[in-house]
Amino acid sequence: MKELLADAAARAARYIAEIDHRPVVPSAQNVARLHALGGPLPEGPSDPAELLALLDDVGSPATVATTRGRYFGFVIGGTLPASLAANWLAGAWDQNAAMRVMSPVAAHLEDLVQTWILELLGLPSASAAGFVTCTTMANFSGLAAARSAILERVGWNVEEDGLFDAPAIRVVVGEEVHVSVLKALSMLGLGRSRVITVPADGQGRMRADALPVLDQHTIVCIQAGNVNTGAFDPAKEICARARAAGAWVHVDGAFGSWAAVSPQLAPLLEGVNAANSWAIDCHKWLNVPYDSGIVVVREPEHLRRALSAGSAAYLTQSAAREPWQYTPDASRRARGIELWAAIRSLGRSGLREMVERNCRQARLFADRLRAAGFTVLNDVVLNQVLVSFGTPDQTHRVIAEIQADGTCWCGGTLWHGHTAMRISVSCWATTDQDVERSVAAMIRIANSVKAA
């Protein structure tokens, strides 16, 4: 065991050391070699050292280099050193984080992280947090709490009686709502198409002046950080309107929530702490390993009622916070360990530095691309940049060639009718040199496409 783990650590360290020197995406040959991992179902055991060597030899070259500083696709973070190391130790611990009795350390670290996150993000200190797999599940969990609370007000117990014949719930979303919110609504029986959609402005912000009349049967889903532009819905105005009407506000703050750690950026979130529930991503901008998200609900009882299981004689209950009563899962890995390591290793100032650096780097991308004659389509308020390289066809070709070139990786999107390339700067490891090297490749490729 000891030798095997030492071998795994050596291989992992070599992978990290070498990854900067290879293309961000694997070559077609290395992807084709993956078949060497397959074959018929093994009838008998294999030597763990041999299979680890095979996994490294064949698997490592077929990875996408998201853990280093030149991957700008989707919204993808890397893994902070302290979190990766904590993840390895936690792997050895193999803790089930469901119940306090199964893992006192996992439960204790979740308690701590809950307190730290609420303080860091300026959310109400008596709120409850659930440690889930991703923002999609955080949206699901926050909206489950909303559904439960709204129906409880009219005397309906949705956990016991379901939605059959239940009083109607209205759901309001912005035109630029993230698909994960719609997926969560569909899983909750609230439907993706039954929503009332509020128009957005040119940056994708929900227009508060176009909100319908709100009431206490309404859930308003707002967004902090548009996946394309990084823009924030006007939380202050929307939360004030919702509060006066008794409506519930849920915030999809996947990556935008982290703006709260920077006094420069925090004004973008003004008023967001008056909402009722928040979905926050940790595997993106907090740079912890997958899979990690947090749901926060202002009144703990709403989250607990929505997600706790019924009783069973062999399962423990206690007066302390029982982690599994705040998540859709029961048994799960102890992802609070890596969150604790990330926050403890960076501290408030380190987190602020990382978030502000990534935002400055996004502005650097935008400045360099504009200076080279290309069109930046959004106001770069956070870490997202949208750029057009000319006609839709030219932009598609530039994106394809950037992806094939391997210096960096960016994906495409359609923004208000314009074909664009998305640049998302979300990795702790991104240096200004990474940005300069990547933007030089983008400009070289875009100029050659333009000239062709």
Ligand X SMILES: Cc1ncc(COP(=O)(O)O)c(C=O)c1O
Sites of contact with ligand X (CB under 6 A)? 74-75, 134-136, 178, 180, 223, 225, 227, 252, 254-255, 281, 293
Q: Which is nearer to ligand X, 76 or 443 (CB)?
A: 76
Quote the tokens at residue 389.
């390289």
Q: Which is nearer to ligand X, 103 or 229 (CB)?
A: 229
Q: Which is nearer to ligand X, 252 or 338 (CB)?
A: 252
Q: Which is nearer to ligand X, 156 or 225 (CB)?
A: 225
**What string of H, E and C letters represents the secondary structure of the chain?**
CHHHHHHHHHHHHHHHHHHCCCCCCCCHHHHHHHHHHCCCCCCCCCCHHHHHHHHHHHHHHHCCCCCCCCECCCCCCCCCHHHHHHHHHHHHHCCCCCCCCCCHHHHHHHHHHHHHHHHHCCCCCCCEEEEECCHHHHHHHHHHHHHHHHHHHCCCCHHHHCCCCCCCCEEEEECCCCHHHHHHHHHCCCCCCCCEEECECCCCCECHHHCCCCCCCEEEEEEECCCCCCCECCHHHHHHHHHHHCCEEEEECCCHHHHHHCCCCHHHHCCHHHCCEEEEECCCCCCCCCCCEEEEECCHHHHHHHHCCCCCCCCCCCCCCCHHHHCCCCCCCCCHHHHHHHHHHHHHHHHHHHHHHHHHHHHHHHHHHHHCCCEECCCCCCCEEEEECCCHHHHHHHHHHHHHHCCCECEEEEECCEEEEEEECCCCCCCHHHHHHHHHHHHHHHHHHHHC
CB of 440 to ligand X, least distance (A): 27
Q: Which is nearer to ligand X, 69 or 253 (CB)?
A: 253
CB of 448 to ligand X, least distance (A): 31
Q: Which is nearer to ligand X, 133 or 419 (CB)?
A: 133
Q: Which is nearer to ligand X, 99 or 362 (CB)?
A: 362
Q: What are phi and psi of 296, to 5 degrees?
A: -120, 135
CB of 3 to ligand X, least distance (A): 36
Q: Which is nearer to ligand X, 195 or 227 (CB)?
A: 227
CB of 296 to ligand X, least distance (A): 15
CB of 179 to ligand X, least distance (A): 8
Radius of gyration of the chain measured on its C-alpha atoms: 23
CB of 265 to ligand X, least distance (A): 16
CB of 336 to ligand X, least distance (A): 17
CB of 128 to ligand X, least distance (A): 20
Q: Which is nearer to ligand X, 103 or 135 (CB)?
A: 135
The single residue listed with the structure tokens 């004659």 is: 373
Amino acid at 292: S
CB of 282 to ligand X, least distance (A): 9
